């Protein structure tokens, strides 16, 4: 599986992070906060032979496969079962104050998509699970069957950007009264019954946004992303770099806001010289979000929605106003 895995925008990410991992000094540290099957990490360890890796993932299956893939670098890797917003604790436990490069490849991993029994795919019938970390208790089935209809509607509207959120949530509420909804095939049928046929003809698969919303809720993805982004910036040393791959607008909006804020000075408008203490912490390395090439999207469909943003740390943290 690891050998078949094709990392998204691998060349671009390698070129963006490599300068921070080849600076003079001893053993630069790369933190891959979403290790997955280890494709990006393997490429960076190969071209940066002095670099060390701290690889985080909440999915124990992914960690096991990545460990096998990265076995050739065993003396330079430290794989950790953790969610990415636990980054400060992971570094503190290792006595590490600053790192040279941080990568976040958000969303589902190839492992989670390909193992249909995990319940992430709306195209294949499976139990409604959707846990990235299978040691956690909350599943998609529990959300679907126990959340009040108004909360389901809110989740679908906000996390799925689903315009038919009220109709879908109402249909789920009615159907679960007859019998608990435990499998993806039945949930897809319920969603399809609630979405107007005209919308189904033009808007893609009717269950896509609902499944995205449930996955985000089960795994608390946006809360974790909000937590890790400022901590990741703070963990970078001067000259260190961060790269983030997002796959939908909610993720990308958060990434854009944090990187833009940290790359903007806080000096009053019209001030002829910006004092260092009011200057930006980051320099943006990407103008807007970079997208995969048409060729990559054609050969790797999972790359199509990817948005890549990156920045370099140029100054210490600013003091709060």
Residues placed in the known binding site for S-adenosyl-L-methionine? 38-40, 57, 84, 105, 112
pTM, to two decimals = 0.90
Radius of gyration of the chain (CA): 21
Alpha helices by DSSP H, listed for the chain, are: 10-21, 39-47, 60-69, 87-93, 110-114, 140-146, 149-159, 165-178, 184-194, 197-202, 208-219, 221-235, 249-262, 294-299
Would you place residue 274 in the very low, low, confident or very high pLDDT band (cuts 50, 70, 90)? low
Report how far apart, in Å, the C-alpha atoms of 133 and of each of 3, 62, 95, 225, 301 are: 23, 10, 26, 16, 25
**CATH architecture of the domain with range 10-105+221-313:** 3-Layer(aba) Sandwich (3.40)
Q: What is the C-alpha to C-alpha distance for residues 242 and 236, in angstroms, rounded to an integer?
A: 8
Stretch 221-233: mean pLDDT: 96
201-221 pLDDT, tens digit each: 777 789 999 999 999 999 999
- Other CB atoms closer than 10 Å to residue 264's CB: what's the count? 13
In the three-class reduction of DSSP (H, G, I as helix; E, B as strand; rest coil), residue 249 is classed as helix
User: Residue 53 belongs to what H/E stretch?
Assistant: strand 52-57
Average pLDDT, the chain: 91
Compute φ and ψ for 237, nearest 5 degrees. Answer: -80, 170
| Contact in structure between 297 and 304 (CB atoms under 8 Å) | yes
- Least confident range from 35-39, 140-144, 201-205, 279-283: namely 201-205
Would you place residue 111 in the very low, low, confident or very high pLDDT band (cuts 50, 70, 90)? low
Residue with tokens 């790192």: 99
Q: What is the C-alpha to C-alpha distance for residues 75 and 52, in angstroms, rounded to an integer?
A: 9
173-196 pLDDT, tens digit each: 999 999 999 999 999 999 999 998
In the three-class reduction of DSSP (H, G, I as helix; E, B as strand; rest coil), residue 260 is classed as helix
> Residue 72: which of 49, 101, 91 has the closest Cα?
49
Compute φ and ψ for 308, nearest 5 degrees. Answer: -110, 125
| Contact in structure between 44 and 51 (CB atoms under 8 Å) | yes
The residues, any chain, with a CB within 8 Å of residue 149's CB and separated by 6 or more, are 169, 170, 172, 173
pLDDT on residue 321: 45
Q: What is the C-alpha to C-alpha distance for residues 216 and 209, in angstroms, rounded to an integer?
A: 11
**What CATH number labels 130-219?**
1.10.150.170
Q: Where are the domains of the chain?
A: 10-105+221-313, 130-219
CA triplet 284, 289, 295: central angle to 5 degrees?
A: 130
Would you place residue 49 in the very low, low, confident or very high pLDDT band (cuts 50, 70, 90)? very high
What does the DSSP 8-state code read for residue 304? T
């Amino acid at each position: 599986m690891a050998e078949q895995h094709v990392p998204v925008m691998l060349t671009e990410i390698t070129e963006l992070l490599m300068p921070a991992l080849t600076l003079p000094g001893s053993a630069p540290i790369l933190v891959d906060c979403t290790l997955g099957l280890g494709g990006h990490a393997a490429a960076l360890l190969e071209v940066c032979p002095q670099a060390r890796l701290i690889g985080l993932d909440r999915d124990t299956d992914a960690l096991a496969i990545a460990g096998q893939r990265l076995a050739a670098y065993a003396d330079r890797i430290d794989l950790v079962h953790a969610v990415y917003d636990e980054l400060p604790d992971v570094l503190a436990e290792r006595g590490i104050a600053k790192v040279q490069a941080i990568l976040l490849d958000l969303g589902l991993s190839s492992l989670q998509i390909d193992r249909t029994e995990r319940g992430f795919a709306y195209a294949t019938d499976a139990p409604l699970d959707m846990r990235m970390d299978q040691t956690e208790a909350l599943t998609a089935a529990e959300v679907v069957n126990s959340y009040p209809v108004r909360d389901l509607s809110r989740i679908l509207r906000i996390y799925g950007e689903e315009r038919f959120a009220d109709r879908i949530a109402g249909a789920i509420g009615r159907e679960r009264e007859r019998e608990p909804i435990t499998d993806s095939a039945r949930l897809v049928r319920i969603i399809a019954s609630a979405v107007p046929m005209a919308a189904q003809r033009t808007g893609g698969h009717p269950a896509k946004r609902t499944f995205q919303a449930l996955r985000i809720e089960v795994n608390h993805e946006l809360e974790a992303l909000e937590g890790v982004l400022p901590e990741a910036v703070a963990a970078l040393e001067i000259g260190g770099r961060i790269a983030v791959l997002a796959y939908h607008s909610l993720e990308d909006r958060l990434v854009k806001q944090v990187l833009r804020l940290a790359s903007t000075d806080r000096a009053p408008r019209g001030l002829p010289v910006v004092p260092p203490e009011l200057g930006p912490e980051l320099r943006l390395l990407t103008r807007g979000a970079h997208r995969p090439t048409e060729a990559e999207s054609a050969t790797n469909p999972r790359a199509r929605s990817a948005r890549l943003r990156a920045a370099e740390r140029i100054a210490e943290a600013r003091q709060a106003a």
